[in-house]
Amino acid sequence: MSEVVLAASACKTNIQEAADSGLPTTPVANGFGCGESGSTNPVASKYVSSLTTAASGEIKAFARAIKATEIDGKYIVLVPYTDASAATVAVAADYTSGSNKPIRAWKCKTDMNFKYVPANCREAG
């Protein structure tokens, strides 16, 4: 599972930079330039089938070739928040220059059995 978590975590830098510096236009899904599905260099490895981003900055890494019915096809998702208490989820407009808001916190969530994921990812999502 570490490779799946690392694939998602690597994309956090791109999302943080977009929030900090502001983008000229509102972002679109899979448009943060971190190897999302459909890009020229999509992330894929032995244990990661794909990586996607939502316009809100949410990052999903999908697992494969780990444990057929319990893990394969499931995901780890990193959700950005604009406040330190992780109560306000970032939205696409938060990345637009002039109204951009920095990312203050991240939550890791998953749709797989919690026994397979790191402690900080044990939230349904």
pLDDT of residue 37: 72
pLDDT of residue 20: 96
Task: Decide: residue 6, CB within 10 A, 0-12 exposed, 13-18 middle, 19+ buried.
Answer: middle
Residue pointed to by tokens 């990812």 = 121
Q: What is the pTM of this model?
A: 0.90
Residue pointed to by tokens 């697992």 = 63
Task: Decide: residue 60, CB within 10 A, 0-12 exposed, 13-18 middle, 19+ buried.
Answer: buried
pLDDT of residue 62: 92
Mean pLDDT by 10 residues, the chain (125 residues): 86 95 95 79 80 96 88 94 97 95 96 89 80
